[in-house]
């Protein structure tokens, strides 16, 4: 079944590659890893390479109950929102605030602020006066967006581990499809936290250096932070969410099904909804975490669903794995690629040592400078996000010509 397209009218993005569409696009295509830095502040056992957002806003705009929104996560989100403020204002003027919704994918919210507050309470016998328990609520980022722009439509946060950002875009499209909204601010955000890094370290999943996805030498992930937000409407623009596939195979709490069947189903459902076949796909942004189990599963799933000829890359060696924000940020990368001239075929490079893991299927990994397929040859791109608990999400974004 082919769904109507849901148009992604504007994008704001903030990650280790920089702040803003133009900066991020240039750094992405250049394979810039300068935002990936060793940091001793998170791991109990030493330093880890993390993807840190540069140039965060110093302060949030003045808001009612502003104390509960004073988190790093919301500062990151604010950096992305600044790019789409005019588009949100136009949607409010056109549809009314009660017809504009918010769906944000997130997993960390204000957890780091809570950890630091607890440490202060242990040391001093009381929590700091500026700490609010509401900072840690998973709904805090979506509440922040609704409050900031005085939006009155449905507002909620999706927390589905590392597929959350992709799930948020699908959830926003459903709000449009069911007539509950005429516009939705959709996206994802997560900030670096000690809890997250030490949790992944307890699973022996943190790489000692830069991640090396799909390599025989891969040994774990880098964690990053960031945000991406779109304004999604039924109003025509050049880039649209054409389809999505969401599955839950529930194979294991923190390991993917090695057969990749849930991932294969997610890709196929998304392509069927979009009305695409393999020949329409110009590029796949892989989940590509650099862990042994994920990369082996994903390479098998992509090979079975799409074959071995479609250009693919993991962009996580440039951003880190941004957890609940990853699906939105990586969909943002597709938006940036699809927004270019149709003759511009440059794609994000796959940064690794070039030594394919023996347990990985050979795919068409993009090397720096490789020409991609022109958008006359293929008009759509896929982003994969796979999460703990067997949650799988694939998105198909494409160019949409005016009918």
Residues known to be catalytic: 162, 287, 321
Q: Is residue 284 in some structural domain?
A: yes
Name the domain count of the chain.
Answer: 1
Span 225-275, pLDDT tens digits: 999 999 999 999 999 999 999 999 887 777 778 888 999 999 999 999 999
Span 41-83, pLDDT tens digits: 899 988 999 999 998 888 888 887 889 999 999 999 999 999 9
Span 294-315, pLDDT tens digits: 999 999 999 999 999 999 999 9
Q: Is residue 143 in some structural domain?
A: yes
CA distance 278 to 115: 46
Span 158-189, pLDDT tens digits: 999 899 999 999 999 999 999 999 999 999 99
- Name the band, by pLDDT with cuts 50, 70 and 90, for residue 3: low
* 187-208 exposure pattern, b = at least 16 Cβ within 10 A, e = fewer: bbbbbbbbebbeebbeeebbbe
CATH of the domain at 19: 3.40.47.10
pLDDT at 1 (0 to 100): 42
pLDDT at 401 (0 to 100): 65
- Domain span at residue 211? 6-399
Instruction: Give backbone dihedrals phi and psi of 292, rounded to 5 degrees, phi first.
Output: -65, -50
Q: Is residue 275 in some structural domain?
A: yes
List Cα–Cα distances, 401 to 5, 166, 231, 285, 378, in angstroms: 11, 24, 18, 23, 13
How much is the pTM? 0.96
Q: Is residue 371 in some structural domain?
A: yes
Q: Is residue 1 in some structural domain?
A: no
Which is higher by pLDDT, 223 or 251? 223
């Amino acid at each position: 079944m082919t769904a109507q397209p849901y148009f992604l009218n504007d994008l704001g993005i903030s990650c280790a590659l920089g702040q803003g569409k133009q900066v991020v696009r240039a750094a992405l295509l250049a394979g810039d890893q300068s935002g990936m830095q060793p940091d001793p502040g998170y791991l109990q056992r030493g330093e880890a390479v993390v993807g840190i957002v540069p140039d965060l806003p110093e302060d949030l705009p003045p808001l009612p109950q502003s104390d509960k929104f004073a988190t790093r996560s919301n500062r990151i989100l604010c950096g992305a929102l600044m790019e789409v403020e005019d588009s949100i204002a136009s949607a409010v003027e056109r549809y009314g605030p009660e017809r504009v919704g918010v769906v944000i994918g997130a997993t960390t919210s204000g957890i780091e602020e809570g950890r630091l507050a607890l440490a202060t309470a242990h040391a001093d016998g009381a929590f700091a006066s500026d700490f609010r328990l509401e900072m840690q609520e998973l709904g805090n980022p979506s509440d922040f967006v609704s409050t900031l722009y005085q939006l009155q439509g449905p507002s909620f946060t999706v927390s589905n581990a590392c597929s959350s950002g992709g799930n948020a875009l699908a959830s926003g499209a459903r709000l449009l499809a069911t007539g509950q909204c005429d516009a939705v601010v959709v996206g994802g955000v997560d900030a670096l936290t000690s809890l997250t890094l030490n949790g992944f370290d307890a699973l022996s999943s943190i790489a000692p250096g830069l991640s090396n996805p799909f390599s025989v030498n891969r040994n774990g992930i880098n964690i990053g932070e960031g945000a991406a937000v779109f304004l999604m409407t039924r109003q025509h623009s050049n880039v649209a969410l054409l389809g999505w596939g969401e599955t839950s195979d529930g194979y294991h709490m923190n390991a993917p099904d090695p057969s990749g069947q849930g991932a294969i189903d997610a890709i196929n459902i998304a392509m069927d909804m979009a009305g695409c076949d393999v020949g329409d796909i110009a590029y796949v942004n892989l989940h590509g975490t650099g862990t042994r189990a994920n990369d082996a599963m994903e390479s098998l799933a992509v090979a079975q669903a799409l074959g071995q000829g479609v250009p693919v890359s993991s962009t996580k060696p440039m951003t880190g794995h941004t957890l609940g924000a990853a699906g939105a940020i990586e969909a943002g990368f597709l938006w940036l690629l699809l927004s270019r001239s149709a003759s511009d075929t440059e794609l994000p490079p796959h940064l690794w040592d070039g030594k394919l893991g023996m347990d990985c299927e050979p795919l068409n990994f993009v090397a720096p400078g490789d020409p991609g397929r022109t958008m006359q040859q293929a008009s759509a791109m896929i982003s994969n996000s796979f999460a703990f608990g067997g949650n799988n999400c694939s998105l198909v974004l494409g160019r949409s010509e005016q009918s």
